[in-house]
Structure 1
Amino acid sequence: MAFDRSDTKTDAAPILCLDQVEVIYPNGTVALQPTTVDFEDGELTVLLGPSGAGKSTLLRTLNLLVRPTSGAVLSREIGTLDATQSIRAHRRDTAMIFQQHQLIGRMGAMHNVLLSRLGRHSFWRTLVGFSEEERRLALECLTRVGLFEKALTRCDSLSGGQQQRVGIARALAQEPKMILADEPVASLDPASSERVLNVLRSICKEDRIPVIVSLHQLDYAKAFADRIIGLAGGQIVFDGPPTQLSETVLTQIYGSTGQDAT
């Protein structure tokens, strides 16, 4: 199914496009049917759908953690992402936030944030350590997520919500042009979930970069998204603003009236 978003697009070219991208895993599972979709600056997009719908596959295709079986991923600044050098350059500009926080527990929050700078330096440069400018950047990023006072606190002593915000600060310190978040609130309580999503939305709007988040929770998608992409059976069945999420659309996504979405 094709979707026409011409009435909502800006004059600027999309920052990233998938062109007829298909993903078939080695066991023969078709995780993503041929998909064409683009993403624009300053837009928070939620990938919504049940387990196995293709959300994580689509998200991870955007930075080539999952390689397309066919089709192409196109970057506005780099071009077709099909070579090691172009993929590496794209990943430097694309921050990834995971459900599991992927922090080093014995290290402080600021040190974990600084680790995102390693990809900006050569091996020999990393032996010198981080510059004063980078340390200031890490503190600024922690301040933006409300954790300045936790800069020297070991991450394994922080709450789950605080750890996820450290993960967001680490993503910010990468100075990305796009942020991808794979089920970032799946293990958090409602209050922590809302705070994390509020932080992501603020970053999206203040920095004018696309933030693309996969979620299970329909209420959060409606509350925080500018755009929702609904997936079912490895294909996009809806692409539009939250206000257009009708019962008919939810039936397409979930195979019911949507009561299974939490």
Structure 2
Amino acid sequence: MARLARAWPWLVSLGAASCPELGKEELFACQTDVELGSPSPSLPNAPSAFCTDHAKCVEIGLATGNCCPAMNGQYLSCCDATSRRLTPQRMDKKGVTIDDTTLQWCSSRIPETWPNLKAAPMGSLRIFQTWNSQWPSKGRHTSWKGLVDFVKANRLKVLVGTPVTCVEGEDEITWSWTKEFLQMVGPEHVMGLAVGNELELLYTHADSGCISEMWTGGRLWSVFQRRVAEFAT
């Protein structure tokens, strides 16, 4: 994406019909085709041209489709440059992480296939937490239903996370929600349970008392054992 972002400014200046449009969807749909070559000021400063018209385009691998020169001599392959498409490998073994925003607001609108890859369905999902105590409780079951329907329709496996924080009371509430979600999705769709998340970063936002209790005091290990025991049953 970093390389794609650098290509964006000169896409604006080109405005060529044969290159990706400025719309967000069109640009993102072509991102697997983006490949920048080394600067070559000697090439014609045309808004767009067929790759076969310029030997330099072929040299950098743009053998099909259009070659769109940048003002600084770099080149971008367009959407029909199929030689730049990525080749998926073992996609059934790969999955995605569902961020908190998607879980809370649009769990029923998760893509069923990988972007830019035809006939490559998702294999698994990971969720950091089943719900957060700061979110409206009335939307919890609606969001869960959207996610569970998606998981079952696509026969996915889910790695379910449950947090361990400095607020023990809230942890117990979220754990009760996690158990409720696990029952809802069914054991056949559960890959495993992740207890805690990014605890190595706890020191960046927690006081020393919490950190000491979590690690030296053994709270994390105690919570972990209890969660695993309940999960196993």
Tell me if TM exceeds 0.5. no
- The structure carrying a bigger helix percent of its residues is 2
Q: What is the TM-score of this pair, normalised by structure 2?
A: 0.31
Q: What is the TM-score of this pair, normalised by structure 1?
A: 0.28
- The structure carrying a bigger strand percent of its residues is 1
Q: Which has the higher contact order (CA 8 A, sep 6+)?
A: 1
